[in-house]
Amino acid sequence: MTNTQVTLVQVDNYGPWTVTPEPRREVDLQTLQSRLYADLSQLFGNREGYVFFTRFDNMIAVTNGLDREAHALIQESVANRYPVTVSLGVATDPSPAAALGDATNQLQAAGSAQDEDRTQILGGGFLAGADRTDADVQIAHFDVIDATGKYTDKLNAFDSFIRIEQGYAELMRHMRRAHDSLSFFVGGDNVIAVCPELTPAAYRDAIDHVAGEVDVDLQVGVGRARTAQDAGMRAKHALEECRHEGTAVEFGDGSHY
Ligand SMILES: Nc1nc2c(ncn2[C@@H]2O[C@H](COP(=O)(O)OP(=O)(O)OP(=O)(O)O)[C@@H](O)[C@H]2O)c(=O)[nH]1
């Protein structure tokens, strides 16, 4: 069974800050948001975690291996570097969607995202070292088949973007509803999904669903490991197998579909 530790990162009281004392320049907000994401990617990444930008004011991380102390250090580092602080809600569950639900409850129970007195919350449960296994995290790396030939080299950049985003929107909804998974666009034509223990048939179902609904063809490599980064790297190698073998689903352990 998987056991995913998920951390919800929420920028404290960000909405009011963006308009106080008057609306701040959008370019400055974009710069702050992308730099904060870059720093968090390194801070979590140096400790074998993954973080996804989602809405920027809320980001979602897979943090197996990061204990309370590591989270507190990340929080302190952000507070020292930025004019904003972050709250962190943490939870573990075999289902990534359920873990995120519990992590979210930690912050919602402490107050509103726009409560000026609710800052730097660090709440929740961490996966104890003794309970960790080499199969706690399952990550799927999806990619659009021949996005360059079908879209990038044929359509203008915005229409290519629409196609890719449609594929992503359909995939993320389906993976959330049918398979309790959290899927994140990571750039280009790539989506990384954090999943419970799913079979090759479940991934085949997701690929067929997206092809049927929005006519975007996907392939996926799946990896399983102790940490997000190891699972993610295995997924990338499995995706290379898809490319070489012409298969739609590869698990890296030889099972494919
Ligand atoms: N974040 C991320 N982006 C990637 C990765 N690999 C490729 N990309 C992005 O995806 C774009 C398309 O690259 P590919 O997926 O290799 O190209 P493709 O034309 O779809 O070819 P096939 O995937 O072999 O069918 C690149 O320009 C990158 O932006 C990856 O591992 N991670």
Domain ranges of the chain: 4-131, 137-250
Give the pLDDT mean for 229-247: 96
Provide the CATH topology of domain 137-250: Alpha-Beta Plaits (3.30.70)
pLDDT of residue 257: 75
Ligand 1 centroid, distance to 231 Cα (angstroms) = 18
Query: Is CATH 3.30.70.1230 correct for 4-131?
Result: yes
- Asked if residue 256 has pLDDT above 80, the reply is no
- What's the predicted TM-score (pTM) here? 0.96
Of the listed ranges 13-22, 62-71, 95-104, 177-186, the least confidently predicted one is 13-22
For the beta sheet containing 86-93, the strands, ordered from the edge strand earlier in sequence to the opposite edge, are 50-52, 58-62, 4-11, 86-93, 122-124
Which residue's C-alpha comes closest to atom 18 of ligand 1? 146
**To test the ligand 1 pocket, which listed residue (143, 185, 186) has its Cβ within 8 A of the most ligand atoms?**
143
**DSSP conformation class of 51:** E
What is the phi/psi pair of residue 118, to 5°?
A: -100, 90
Minimum-distance ligand 1 atom for the alpha carbon of 148: 19
Instruction: Using the structure block, give the residue that is written with the tokens 């929005």.
Output: 214
Give the pLDDT mean for 14-22: 93
- Asked if residue 255 has pLDDT above 80, the reply is no
Assigned token pair, 125 = 């449960």
Q: What pLDDT, in 10s, does the model give residues 126-154?
A: 999 999 999 999 999 999 999 999 999 99
Determine whether the shortest distance from the Cβ of 211 to ligand 1 is under 6 A.
Answer: no
Determine whether the shortest distance from the Cβ of 243 to ligand 1 is under 6 A.
Answer: yes
Determine whether the shortest distance from the Cβ of 186 to ligand 1 is under 6 A.
Answer: yes
pLDDT of residue 180: 97
For the beta sheet containing 218-225, the strands, ordered from the edge strand earlier in sequence to the opposite edge, are 182-187, 190-195, 137-144, 218-225, 249-250
